[in-house]
Every structure is written in structure tokens, then in C-alpha cells.
A and B are shown apart, each in its own frame.
Chain A
Amino acid sequence: MSPRKAYVETTILADALLKPGNPKCTAALAALKRYDTTLLPVYAIKEWKAGVVKYFAYFHEKLVQTKSLSRTIQVIASLPDQYHQYRKNTSWEALATAVHLGSQGRKPGAEPSEDEDRELADRYRLSIAGLLTRSWQKRRELTTETIQDLDCYTESPPMLNASGVFDLSPNDCDSEVKCALADALFSQPELLTKLADAIPESSKRKKDVKRRQVLRDMVRLKNYELTPDSCRALGDAIFAFFAPPDSVVLTTNLKDHAPLAQALGKSAEAP
């Protein structure tokens, strides 16, 4: 039996590093141990930072700004539908209980005092900042190898600025530098077509429509140049394309990744 090799996708990175104590974290870490070799492409780090890290940084910023956990929860809950990732049904009580034993005696639904609310905001502000800082330091230790460095992308850590909020720049590739993945992608147009075909025409999801369009344009248009925006749109297709043939794409999102991987004769596995 040949050694098992996993090509690690962004959702695994997010679960393993940013869901401490959560069953999803346990599952992700256990899944990584199933393989002899685990490969983390830098593209996953880029997606992770521009996605879930950015969401956490936003929550953190609201805590800094409002100095109130209850107001932060209200702000997050009132975001429009497009920010569904933020709109978690999280109660103040549940958050309070998780960080401070003293709050367990509160009556459910009781209004927190200003001091209590501010203290909780500080606790979550510090917890999120600490988690982001430590998870960034651990990102390259999670797998046996980190591969496919991107010359066009600077892997800068999230930094707390003078205002106490995270500066995540750069979130995208440097548009002045040629896309590090472009040559490999453009050299195999038949694979790009297969990937585009694997995205159901019936899907009206914005990300599917855009990904299919970029893939088709890359084949159809001469002198097409990948921009930071189109690079981001390719997303899941990048993993199917660049996963080594003897590896599986390890992801929690089989729904999107499995058809893309299968289109190129590869496979995807969930934790």
C-alpha cells in the first residue's frame, strides 16, 4: 500500500487552528494524523487569512470599538445576509459562561451591567487577539510540509496596530507581480475546461458563477491575466488543480471539492 498523502484545504486549517475545544478542531487534527504526508499549499494560508481570520479580526475590531460584548453581538447579528458567516446566533450568556465562572450565576436574559459587559468585551478581545496571533505562528507546523510558495503573495502576520485593531494587509497578491500559479494553470487548458464543466450550470451561487466564468475566460481569451480578484474567485479549483496526483484533497467541504477533484481524476476526503 502506497503512503497516504493529503493536500490540505483551507477549511481544515481553519477548523484545526481557530476552533479550539470544538469537535471540528478535534476532527481536523485527527484527520491530519491519518496520513503519512500532509501538504499545506500557501494558497490555503492566503485564503485562510483573507477569510476566517478576517472575520475574527472584524469581531475583534467591534469589541475594541464598542468596548461592549452585548453591543458587538447586536452589530454582528444585524449585518445583512451576505455576511451570513458573521451572523451566528450567539448569546451573551453563553459567551460569558465560557470565560468566567462568576457569570454562571446570572439569570438568563438579565441585562449585564456596564462593567460586566466591558470586562467580557476585554476578555474576548484578548482571547481573539491571542488566538489569531498563536494560530498564525502555528500555521506551518500543522502539516508535515508547507508547499507551493507564492512569489506574488507576501505572507505577513496579522499585526495589531496603534489603535489596537488588526492590520491584515496584504490580503491579496501583489498585482504588480506576475501570478505565481499562472504558468502552470495556462499550460493545461484542458484541465481548466474540465474544472469549469464540473461546476453545475444550474448553480446560481455567486462563487460558482464567478469561478466558472474565470475558468472559461482563461481558456477562451488570449492574453488573459489573472488578477487578485480572479485568483480569489478560482478558490476551490486551485486545490483540485494543484493537488499532487497521488494525494487526496482533505477538506470539510466535500460538496464543492469532490466534483472538482473527480473531474481531474483525483479525490477529496473529509475528516
Chain B
Amino acid sequence: MSTLATQVIQFPDVSRRRKHVSAASETVSETPKPGVRTIEQREFQFMQVAGATALNPIPIDVLYPATENNRRDLLHALQLLPSAIHALESARDALRANDIIQSDHFVHAVQMLLPELFRCRTIGDGFASIINALEVSFVNQRGAPLIEKQILATLRALKELRSRPFVTFEAAQHSIEELAEAGLQVDPITLGNLIDVSP
């Protein structure tokens, strides 16, 4: 089996049958029974999990307590996050190869994904807080390329979100603090102007 596998996820209300798709060929190794609805057939084709080798992947809605309301957002976010992570890894590698322009290009690709990720905020306030902080950080960069430790901090934050999209708001603040410690300005500069505390 290829080390790069693709999971096809099924809803628990229809079937627990599992199947695998080779990423290379994208051929279904086990055909679903007639009438069995998979996410693939509903709204999302499938999600790629780089490096997944599990023979018996756990359905995503068993892993995560998604409700009917946020199921769509969760699956959409879990589709987008690997792209963002891959782009950031490319940005990191480009920077290590001293190609700042290429690195910045990949970071920009991540930045373009953030508004769509923020639209998946029904997942929870923890998830939304981290995505929002990243987007604000990029705005505050005013076009300046990220340095390596900022890329790494962003990468860690997104990888954590992929593993724990239902991160609590409080736990999310630790991730955001790590972004700030890497030198990212995670708060809107306008916050300080909302209220005047001068005498």
C-alpha cells in the first residue's frame, strides 16, 4: 500500500464499512454497497491524509464530536488544513534553501486559505481564534516575509488544529501566545483604539 493514502469517510448512520483509495491511482479498493452514502457522494469528494498508513481508518465523525451544524465546516476545514500545512512546509524548506521569494510565495498561498478557514468557525471558538490570530498576524506583517521561527510557529498551530480542531478557547490562547512569542502581532492594532483610558 502506498504510504500516501486517502481516507474516504462514511457517516455512521449509513454504514461502518471502510475503504481505501490509493492516492496514486485514486481507484477505490472496495466499492460501497448500493445505497450506502459516503461523504464522497454527498458534498466532499474525499480528504487526503498525507502519510496515513492506517489500514482501518476511524471515521472522522467518530473521532470528532461534530454536530449536524458544524459537520460540513469541520470536513471542509480538514480538507483545507493539509493544503495550508503543505504550503507552509514548502515555505520553510524554501527559506532554508535561502529562497525568500519562493518562501513568501508559499506563505501567501496559506494566507489566501485563511478567510475560507475562518468561515468554518462553527467548529468552535478555539479553532476560530487561532485562524483569526493568524490572519491578523499576516495583516500586521504588512507584506513583510515571515522569518523561519514565525513559519514554524504557524506550522505548529495549523498542525495542532488539524489534530485537534475542537481545541478549547483557553487552549487556543496558548497556541496564539506561541505565535506572539515568535514575533507575530496576533492582535488587531485597532483594539487599543477602541477605548481611551486617558484621564
Contacts and interface: CB of A to CB of B under 8 A. Distances in A.
Interface of A: 11, 14-15, 18-22, 24-25, 51-52, 55-56, 59, 84-86, 88, 90, 94-95, 97-102, 119, 122-124, 126-131, 133-134, 137, 160, 252-253, 255-256
Contact of B138 (A11, A52, A101, A126): A101
B84 to A, nearest CB: 16
Given A94-B190, A98-B139, A85 B195 contact: yes
Interface in B131-169: 132-133, 135-136, 138-140, 169
B48 interface: no
B125 A131 contact: no
Contacts of A130: 129, 133, 169, 172-173, 176, 186-187
B11 interface: no
B111 A101 contact: yes
A88 B118 CA distance: 28
Contacts of B97: none
Contact of B199 (A95, A122, A255): A255
Contacts of B52: none
Interface of B: 111, 115, 118-119, 121, 125, 128-129, 132-133, 135-136, 138-140, 169-170, 172-173, 176-177, 180, 185-199
Contacts of B169: 129-130, 133, 160
Contacts of A22: 189, 192-193
Given A98-B190, A99-B136, A100-B135, A85 B197 contact: yes
Given A100-B139, A133-B173, A95 B197 contact: no
Determine the main DSSP class of B at the interface with A. Answer: helix
A56 B196 CA distance: 11
Contacts, number: 123
Determine the main DSSP class of A at the interface with B. Answer: helix
Contacts of B186: 20, 130
Which residue among B133, B170, B190 has the maximum number of chain A CB atoms within 10 Å of its CB? B190
A19 B116 CA distance: 28
Contacts of A123: 118, 132, 135-136, 188
Given A101-B111, A130-B173, A130-B176, A21 B187 contact: yes
Given A11-B198, A101-B111, 15 more contacts: A14-B197, A18-B191, A21-B188, A22-B192, A101-B138, A102-B115, A122-B132, A123-B135, A127-B187, A127-B188, A130-B129, A133-B173, A134-B177, A134-B180, A137-B173
A131 B186 CA distance: 9
